[in-house]
Structure 1
Amino acid sequence: MSLSLSINLSMASTIFTSNPSLLFRYTRLRRPQQCPLEQLKVTQRNVWLRRWSVEAASMVAPVVKTKAKAGSRLARVWREIQGVDDWEDFVEPMNTLLQDEIMRYAVFVMVCYMACDLEPTSKRFLNCKYGKKNMLREVGMDGCGYEVTKYIYMTPDSSITTQFGTCPGRWIGYVAVSSDDEVKRLRRRDIIVIFHGMVTNTEWTANLISSLIPARLDPHNPRPDVKVESSYMNLYTSDDSVCKFSHGSCREQLLSELSRIIKEYRDEELSITISGHSMGGSLAWLLAYDIAELGLNRDGLNHEVPITVCLFDSPSIGNSSFKERCEELGVNVLRIVNGNKLIIEHGF
């Protein structure tokens, strides 16, 4: 059975003893009054973006530089670190390898914010500032051991109009695969899917106006008792055929790319790690359930590929039946939460 573990940020003295807390530093970078970026005055927005860029860059460099130190130890216990035994004896007290891995995936989430164009006057507003081949290098992650294979776009409930026109589709994250050198360090080919959180008015509104609906992601077994938040399901499954960047819904893009990657590396040891912050964490959890429910996490020998979800400040997204089904499917969920954050939840 798999468990959903919640680690409160008040445990930072235990979790992040050797490094400044990435997550606490992130909370200090929150926007004034937590309002969407496009509502800030120009001067406020520019100051916040400059501060964000400097702070985020200082967080990325140490993680990239020190990641090789624990390579051999991590290779021996990577399945336990990924949660196959429900992180037994790894959380209390916090295992240093698990601590390092949480930090590593947190940085991959930070990359989403660093690479996303949050300047409303830009032609690429709400899209990535860089091409996928150069993105990790541009944000200071060159040498991180992963290669981006696909950008992911979603369609919110309503579009945003800019001076350059209207495009409902917006960049929400990326898929990446560990390089051959990183495979030697990790002892497996790690497939990561990373999502950023809410940055616009419509996303905040969708988070507040929501209700539980049946997920029904498996057409052969709809399971009407398994329910999730309608706002996240809409973001995950809505399709925008107009936007030039997206091809199909967020779900269709992800399932297609993950199926392709698993097929390409089907003869190797694989892992799937999905991470996100806030709304992005909810999409990460939904994707993990979807993959497992459809049985897409199978390698060339029909062995189950472990799925691990690492969530930062993410709300729960479903009812108790959703949680129970995730546990039955072996989806390993690790939630890192900020005890001071207020979020409306309908689920467990």
Structure 2
Amino acid sequence: MSKSIAENWRDLSGQHYWKDLLDPLDNDLRRYIIHYGEMAQATYDAFNSDKASKYAGRSRYGKAEFFSKVGLEKGNPFKYEVTRFLYATVEIDFLVLNGVEESNWIGYVAVATDEGKAVLGRRDIVIAWRGTQKSAEWVKDVQFLLNEAPQIFGDDSHCKVHRGFYSIYTADNSCLDKTSARNQVLNEMRRLVNQFKDEEISITVTGHSLGAALATLNAVDIVTNGYNIPQNHHHQPHQIKAFPVTAIVFASPRVGDSDFQAFFSDQTDLRALHVRNKEDIVPRHPFIGYSEVGQELEIDTQESQYLKNNVGDVAGWHSLEVYLHGVAGTQGSKGGFNLEVQRDIALVNKSLDALKDEYHIPETWRVQENKGLVQQHDGSWKMLDLELKDDDF
């Protein structure tokens, strides 16, 4: 498996637009998609949503221990280290919430270690974006108006994108990092691309739902503004070395208009693979004035013999863990379901009650021990949050 992925990573990253790999779904590509989906899932597993916590809205874990804490170390040949946490600001500027501003942890940047590079066949840089978790983010999700995106395309472009998604990506941060999520991620990309410019590099952007939309904007931004090109190559056109950028996204809503779609398609170093669950309504919205970009992989988790029949509510079809289960077992147009990748079905119930009772997996089993309360020597209980160090930002 590892040798095949190391040798064929360009095809798996969409060099030829995944021609002949999607139906039937190539098994190395299954593993590849699941790998990036798990890195997106880590943004949910690490997010501190406990209102009682002093550090609510941040990552529960620091950079050094991040992947071990979210369960992506054991049995995983794809080794990375987190180099940067990302924070986004949501500005609410209407009705009773006018003037409300909230900043939260929204994802991370990671780079393959030397060990990971050997398995992956190149130095992979990953940007993972979190989906909606906060009420203010839901407000932005439904700001469907199409607006220009001058920070990405300049002032003369005809491309228009979702107002809410663009705002989350570009709004300046009044606390934590003091700058926009866009500036944070692009500055880190510049640093890493320059650091590893003499190696083979790939840039992979991933996310689920809102995170998928942000990943799409981010991927376009990197290519449009040359952040996939080492800095000292910018003024030497004959020597330009542009590294490929691939967005592998899950349950993504539509992001831009037909001009955005055309612009995206014209970029030679940019690819996108959208994974869509057949019954999930989110990837078909917004539908007025919007166009889809990239290639699509449709899965149908209704075919899975492991899931309850009543899992089919909006949250069930939209769950990222359900998506990854679907990728592991989809049989494409021929129908049926068979786990070609032995991914533990227990993960489906991480935050749901989706597996059939016969598998005896507790529902919503992933919880923080004692919800963060730790017993002291005198028998009392205190909320002891992980206080992130300065270098975790």
Following superposition, the deviation at residue 77 of structure 1 comes to 1.1
Q: Which residue in 1 is equivalent to 2:271? A: 332
For 1:135, the equivalent position in structure 2 comes to: 66
4+ aligned runs moved over 6 Å, structure 1: none
Alpha-carbon offset, residue 218 of structure 1: 4.8
Report the counterpart of residue 235 of structure 1 in structure 2: 168
Cα distance change on mapping 1:205 and 1:167 into 2, 3 Å: closer
Tell me which structure has the larger Cα radius of gyration: 2
Structure 2 vs 1, CA of residues 323 and 234 (structure 1 numbering), >3 Å: closer, same or farther?
A: same
The answer to whether residue 79 in structure 2 is matched with residue 145 in structure 1 is yes
Aligned to 1:35: none
Residues 47 and 59, structure 2, Cα contact 8 Å, conserved in 1: yes
| Counterpart amino acid of residue 84 in structure 1 | Q
Instruction: Give the percent of matched residue pairs that are identical in Structure 1 and Structure 2.
Output: 31
Determine which of 137, 146, 160 is the counterpart of 1:203: 137
Of stretches 181-190 and 295-304 in structure 1, the one that deviates more from structure 2 is: 295-304
* Structure 1 residues not aligned, in runs of 5+: 1-69, 160-165
Q: Contact 2:91 / 2:101 at 8 angstroms: preserved in 1?
A: no
8 Å CA contact 1:154, 1:246 repeated in 2 = no
Structure 2 residue 102 is matched with structure 1 residue 171: no
- Taking the aligned partners of 1:289 and 1:138, their CA distance within structure 2 comes to 31
TM-score (norm: length of structure 2): 0.66
Residue 147 of structure 2: aligned partner: 213
Report the counterpart of residue 90 of structure 1 in structure 2: 21
| Residues 167 and 238 of structure 1: CA distance in aligned 2, closer, same or farther (over 3 Å) | closer
Verify the 8 A CA contact 1:281 1:314 in the aligned structure 2: yes
Deviation at 1:297, TM superposition (A): 1.0
Q: Which residue pairs with 2:12 in the alignment?
A: 81
With a CA cutoff of 8 Å and minimum separation of 6, indicate the structure with the bigger relative contact order. 1
The offset of 1:167, in angstroms, is 7.4
Within 2, Cα distance between the matches of 1:212 and 1:200? 23
Within the candidate set 43, 62, 72, 2:3 is matched to 72
Cross-structure match for 1:315: 253
CA distance in 1: counterparts of 2:68 and 2:145, whole angstroms: 40
Closer, same or farther: CA 251–133 of 1 in aligned 2, 3 Å = same
Displacement of 1:224: 2.8
Q: Secondary structure at the match of 2:178?
A: coil
Q: 1:298 aligns with which of 229, 241, 266?
A: 229
Number of aligned residues: 270
Contact 1:292 1:329 in 2 (8 A): yes
CA distance, structure 1, for counterparts of residue 145 and residue 92 of structure 2: 18
Q: So what's the TM-score if we normalise by structure 1?
A: 0.74
Q: What runs of 5+ residues in structure 2 fail to find an aligned partner?
A: 94-99, 234-238, 292-393
Partner Cα distance (2:8, 2:71) in 1: 28
For the Cα contact (< 8 Å) 1:214–1:223, is it kept in 2? no
Residue 306 of structure 2 is matched in structure 1 by none
- CA-to-aligned-CA distance 1:9-62 (integer Å, 9 cap, x gap): xxxxxxxxxxxxxxxxxxxxxxxxxxxxxxxxxxxxxxxxxxxxxxxxxxxxxx
- Letter of the aligned partner of 1:128 in structure 2? S
> Which residue identity does 1:176 align to in structure 2?
A
Compared with structure 1, are the counterparts of its residues 109 and 218 closer, same or farther at alpha carbon in structure 2 (3 Å cutoff)? closer
Identify which of 179, 196, 221 aligns with 1:248.
179
